[in-house]
Structure 1
């Protein structure tokens, strides 16, 4: 008769001494389908190392939904929410068949290298991070072991995806620090990854074969195999569009160099920022001459996911790209490009001709294309609009006008005083 050792408790988990595996035992108690009962069920899944984090996070998300729908802890749930809860609860039975080896990797003492790989990702619902130990033996054969994972419910509002991904990266650093403080191993290398599919939620019956426990497949390949996937850089000479962009960047970034002077660090940073703005402002599609549609697709729109990037006809019409350097040697000016949409300091100087109040000037009329001032945003983001209606005061001069602009891809009409408008293109009716 074979001797069978009883289950032991380690770190709050059940430990099968015979197979040296961790396992989970679920409570068979039927708890009420209320907020209190659901919270009790979720908390009964004690998982300090994060083996079941992709499964438990689904229950926490459902609990947050229930909290917003109910007032009392013992208030019955709606039929739809109750069915959703039962569906998730019934899948938990598969957790009892899960077996997780206690050791990270086999023959840990005989490994040649030890690497810590930490993955993180975020969505509008949750953030997660997970760490794996990757070892290689003397022959280069890799092994992967799950160390620690965590998942948190994301805030309900007020956070963008980039900010949530940054929170996930912070969580990755936190679990890395926890591992380094408690793991009695010398780690040769620590690597961080973001936007990883292995941190996504899975069903309970899929957890045993998921990347969360087994680790990403990319860690099982050697560095020699990974090097075959590196793409060769494309020579700019082989692509006309790339070559043109490179030429523009070179032209705008070397005015002081051509003049025989060097740039300071601050001036160089400013110059390169303006060069990037110019290159990312070039239109990707044929430019329409219709003033009713001033929105032009540019690389900046694709990079920032915003449509309020200003691109005026004065810049589009410039073909000389003339460059001049001020004689004092302390500042630089790129004319006329930097006096256009990107050179905020000199835009009004050329667009808005200043006259004494004793001189008569032309009133704004319907059809004039103007630049609408806005003190709440920077000058480079002032919208271009067209006058649709003008209003005269008692002196028979236009003091305010109704202007139509494109904001976030939508046409919007504002009534503003003429002092907030800079005339760009006059409407000369025949």
Structure 2
């Protein structure tokens, strides 16, 4: 509903007494028809069966273009249990501000939502939480949280500071979008589709042992949300680099990002986090080699 209101105000510029478009009206009436079903929906609040120990809290965050979402689950496993018990605790969705924000910044704001949600749970609930893990499908967010020693824009620095005020960088892990239950909360689906999803049950892989959880990704240090290396490495060869050129606001940012990727490909152990002149020159040559066959065949 909030997404619909934002769309009406931002796209059509309507005032409160103006008549809305037929398409928006149809969406509203469809949402209204689902209200009785939503009123009958109930969630079991008995989190665990039997005596449990070492309860973990897992908070997922996601933010595509239209919605920001954070959802939290309790996880506990006894020694004699093959699979852990997993229970939905709370989920929150918000629409982005009216002003335009890039997706990396929205993903960072969703991470802030996850941290605030965790703080609310710890404050309001009597359950003793043994550990807390945060999950995001944004590699940019993971990079920024691990790049505090580098200069960041004010918007980014303030939010990263809030994140790290109550969490540690080691608590943040990457998960693919397909395995991220917070992605469900960003979709425009009805209550029946929500019950059929993993929103209330949690991801199946989280019931498994930690060895079966999503693997960690190699980090490329970033200075802000615009320095995001849209370079994906399938094999350890330069020739297979794929670059999304439009994701970079300047050639200098592109050179820096490619240079860090080349460090990973060549498995170089740098003596400093800062790039050397030689590394930047190698990155420029790599960029030219990628561009020439495409634009000058």
Pick the TM interval, shorter chain: 0.5 to 0.7
Gaps of 5+ in 2: 138-176, 219-234, 239-261
Relative contact order, higher structure (CA 8 A, sep 6+): 2
Q: Answer with 1 or 2: which has the greater Rg.
A: 1
1:124-166, Cα deviation, whole Å (9 max, x unpaired): 2111111110011231331111122211111233311111111
- TM-score, normalised to structure 1, is 0.42
Alignment match, 2:127: 185
Q: 1:248 to 1:78 in 2, by over 3 A?
A: closer
User: Cα–Cα, structure 1 residues 137 and 176, in superposed 2: closer, same or farther, change >3 Å?
Assistant: same
- 2:181 aligns with one of 198, 201, 223: 198
| Larger relative helix fraction | 2
After superposition, what is the alpha-carbon deviation per residue over 1:153-206, rounded to whole angstroms, capped at 9, x for unaligned? 112333111111110001100011111112212211100001254223232222
Match of 2:237 among 234, 241, 247: 241
Report the Cα offset of residue 123 of structure 1. Answer: 1.4
The CA deviation string for residues 297-352 of structure 1, in whole angstroms up to 9 with x for no partner, is: xxxxxxxxxxxxxxxxxxxxxxxxxxxxxxxxxxxxxxxxxxxxxxxxxxxxxxxx
Give the match's secondary structure for 2:92.
strand
What are the within-5 Å matches in structure 2 for residues 232-271 of structure 1? 241=237, 268-270=272-274
Q: Indicate how the Cα distance of structure 1 residues 278 and 94 shifts in structure 2: closer, same or farther if over 3 A, else same.
A: farther
- SS of the counterpart of 1:172? helix
Alignment of structure 1 residues 15-414 onto 2, 5 Å: 59-68=1-10, 69=12, 71-107=14-50, 110-140=51-81, 141-195=83-137, 196=177, 197-199=180-182, 200=184, 201=187, 202-224=189-211, 226=212, 241=237, 268-270=272-274, 272-274=275-277, 276-281=279-284, 282-283=286-287, 285=289, 288=292
Matches of 2:93 and 2:105, distance apart in 1: 16
Is the contact made by 1:91 and 1:205 (CA closer than 8 Å) also made in structure 2? no
Note if contact 2:8-2:14 (Cα within 8 Å) is conserved in structure 1.
no
Q: Which runs of 5+ in 1 are unaligned?
A: 1-58, 234-238, 254-262, 297-430
Distance 1:278 1:192, change over 3 A: farther
Q: Is the 8 A contact 2:72 2:90 kept in 1?
A: yes
How many correspondences in the alignment? 210
Distance 1:179 1:204 in 2: 24
